[in-house]
Amino acid sequence: MREFKIKLNTHMEKHKIITKAKYYINANKYAIAARLLLKILKTSPNDPYILFELGKIYFLLGNYNLSEKYLIKTLKNKELLIYASDFLIKIYKTTKKINKSVYFIKQTLKMNKKSYEIYKELLNIYFYDIKNLKESYILSKRMVSHFKKDIFAYRILIKSAIHLKKYSCIKKYGEFILKNKHLSSYYVDEILRFAEELCRENKYLQAFKLVNFIAENQKEKTTGFFKKIQYDFAIFLKNNKYCAEKLLNYIPEKNLKIRNIALNEFEIKNKKIILQSMPRAITVVLTNRCNLKCCMCQVWKNNWDLPKQAVEQVKMIMPYLEYVTWHGGEVLLHKDFESLFECAVKNNVKQEIITNGLLINKNMIDKFIKNNIQLTLSIDSTKKELYERIRSGARFENIKAVLRSLKNRRKKYEKSSIKIRMNVIISENNFLEVFDFINFAHKYDMHEIYFFMLNNFDFKCKTDIDRFIKNYKKIIKYFTKNEKAINDMAKKFGINIVNAIPGLKAFKKIVDNVQDNDLYEKTFQYKTCSMDNSEKKLIVYDKKSNTKVGMTRIKCTVPWQRLRIDEYIRPHCFCRDDANVGVIDGYFNIFTLWNSEYMQSYRNMILCNDLHISCNPVCYSGIIPKNQCIGVV
């Protein structure tokens, strides 16, 4: 080309060729520009500007070896040092020569101690490329001292300090950041995001320390955080009495649910008998009416519905609740079921619906999936004839149609976390179907199977119910023998198994205990209990020394956290039927019953480590899984 025939003489000055070369650089014709500059370099081999331009061109061409060669020669010029260094750092990062890059940057910093770009590149390498948090922390502190209003340096400092648990540093620089609106939003969000990560790792104490600092300065920012992790924090609070008390100072009063969790855990830890906190979970029996007449169930014989006053009371307590279970009879027969369901959705309450499933329609399916409920379906056989004999009045094809609809509609809501569980009452009729139940659950994308036996140990029933309990030894031996195979098969399909079939010893123990009429009269030989009215909490005395003794760990927190509401009120469905907190009548008041003398007595006895008249031996026998009978979470 004509341009390359130009000779460097008095008629063509050097700067004109450089101008021409820059024109080709701007036009992305880097090869032409390089050849022009190389002509000049022959007569001026040490010209730093020509060397720099060549180094830049070869970088853009991707020839990093030549680019490095020319840029290193440029470093001798102080004016071009920073610019050449910037390209060299990019070369080393691109070619993965991280150690060489770090060494080179440090050498450059010695020559120019306040170069922001060099600091930034080194900090990027430490934090993002080699993830050296310690060096990131040290360097970001140095940057903050040099460039006091730089957002980038503050962000890396905060992230490094959080990961290294440098809480004093967070507080020191946090106070400055929170005063600057352009920094505070990012800072607070970063802290809260990391606190969420800590919660997912069960590091609640560290999370609380971080959120505690934010709450002291910006309470409104923490409301959303507590809402997101409220259920995780409930677990944490059980083991952190101080934090539960402290947390109350920072949770807005309008956030009833979160405040109730913290207050409840604080009261449990302090052994309170009279509670300011409300129940955190309730089971509501909406009706005894049912569309079926199951052979093992007598409930349908009583025509009863939860009255309007009780419905309104349930709605009033909903803002405090974490969890509600709708029970029957058949819950879908109650006229107020839909309004109660919507009230729970509005108040962000987790819901479980226990149903035979036959009355579920497509509209209900969409609501259940969209609102992430736990749907528990009672299915006692995978065989048409036996299913319809056990659940008299049911059609097997109908329940399969509902399950197909559930499976198909869930594809529309990919982000739904609905949980579908199958309740199976194990009996002599169906215990050999255990593996068929797992296949059935897998076919319809169920998440869990709950195997249990009837909780009726008086052996007085002369109806078909006898077939469910009279051959319990054969059933238990079968489950014991096949336990590993059952669990392996379920694990293969991603199905959780809750096995409430007791071992032989446990079953014999529970039967013997129930037949022992003196069981509920027994108390510990050396302990007695009384109420300290000034503090409204329990005091335990040792009879031998007549002194106060330390409280034992609460074995069951149900009377502090739950209520079951049907015709009668009691803390939990496992609590004995013949011992009730109250009766649903014209004067029913859930708030009054919660701290009635009976409930105080119940809590009192549990704190003494004694069995109350309401206590069911199944809770102490090991038959019922602990997470099914003790506590909310």
- Asked if residues 61 and 74 have their Cβ atoms less than 8 Å apart, the reply is no
Q: 281-517: which CATH number, 3.40.710.10, 3.20.10.10, 3.20.20.70, 3.40.190.10?
A: 3.20.20.70
Element of type H or E holding 531: strand 527-532
Tens digits of per-residue pLDDT, 474-496? 888 888 889 899 999 999 999 99
Kindly list the distances between the CA atom of residue 165 and the CA atoms of 112, 203, 210, in Å, as whole numbers in the listed order.
32, 12, 10
- The stretch 95-99 carries a mean pLDDT of 77
Calpha distance 7→3 (Å, rounded): 9
Tens digits of per-residue pLDDT, 264-289? 878 887 888 899 999 999 999 999 99
Write out the DSSP string of 182-195: HHHHHHHHHHHHHH
pLDDT at 464 over 50: no
Task: Label residue 409 by pLDDT band (50, 70, 90).
Answer: very high
Calpha distance 448→495 (Å, rounded): 5
Calpha distance 465→425 (Å, rounded): 11
pTM, two decimals, is 0.64
**Interacting residues of 354 by C-beta distance below 8 A, sequence separation 6+:** 325, 326, 327, 328, 331, 376, 378, 423
Calpha distance 367→85 (Å, rounded): 61
**Interacting residues of 62 by C-beta distance below 8 A, sequence separation 6+:** none
Measuring CA to CA, which residue among 256, 206, 192 is closest to residue 236?
A: 206
DSSP letter at 54 equals H
Measuring CA to CA, which residue among 624, 427, 423 is closest to residue 507?
A: 624
Write out the DSSP string of 418-479: -EEEEEEE--TTTGGGHHHHHHHHHHTT--EEEEE-----S----SGGGGGTTTHHHHHHHH
pLDDT given for residue 407 in this prediction: 94
Strand 547-548 with 537-542, pairing:
antiparallel
Sign of CA dihedral 250, 254, 259, 263: positive
Q: Of 616 and 183, which is predicted with more confidence? A: 616
- The stretch 287-311 carries a mean pLDDT of 88
Angle between helices 48-61 and 30-43 (to 10 degrees): 150
State residue 354 phi and psi, 5-degree precision: -100, 120
Least confident of 358-372, 380-394, 408-422, 546-560: 546-560
Task: Label residue 79 by pLDDT band (50, 70, 90).
Answer: confident
Token pair for residue 606? 């549990």
Looking at the DSSP bridge assignments, the partners of residue 448 are 421, 496
Tens digits of per-residue pLDDT, 513-569? 444 434 333 333 333 334 343 333 434 444 444 444 444 456 678 889 999 998 888
DSSP letter at 624 equals S
The CA radius of gyration of the chain, in Å to the nearest whole number, is 36
pLDDT given for residue 458 in this prediction: 35
Task: Label residue 226 by pLDDT band (50, 70, 90).
Answer: low
pLDDT at 7 over 80: no
Task: Label residue 253 by pLDDT band (50, 70, 90).
Answer: confident
1-128, CATH topology level: 1.25.40
Q: Which amino acid is at 418?
A: I
- The stretch 149-170 carries a mean pLDDT of 75
pLDDT given for residue 364 in this prediction: 95
Q: Of 15 and 273, which is predicted with more confidence? A: 273
Token pair for residue 216? 């002291």
- The stretch 418-425 carries a mean pLDDT of 95
Task: Label residue 442 by pLDDT band (50, 70, 90).
Answer: very high
Neighbours of 243 (CB within 10 A): 22
Calpha distance 382→396 (Å, rounded): 9
Calpha distance 65→81 (Å, rounded): 19
Measuring CA to CA, which residue among 162, 182, 180 is closest to residue 171?
A: 162
Task: Label residue 11 by pLDDT band (50, 70, 90).
Answer: very low
Longest dimension (CA), the chain: 123
Q: What percent of the chain has pLDDT over 70?
A: 69
pLDDT at 327 over 70: yes
Averaged pLDDT score across all residues of the chain: 76
Neighbours of 380 (CB within 10 A): 25
CA angle 176, 177, 181 (to 5 degrees): 120
Calpha distance 529→120 (Å, rounded): 67
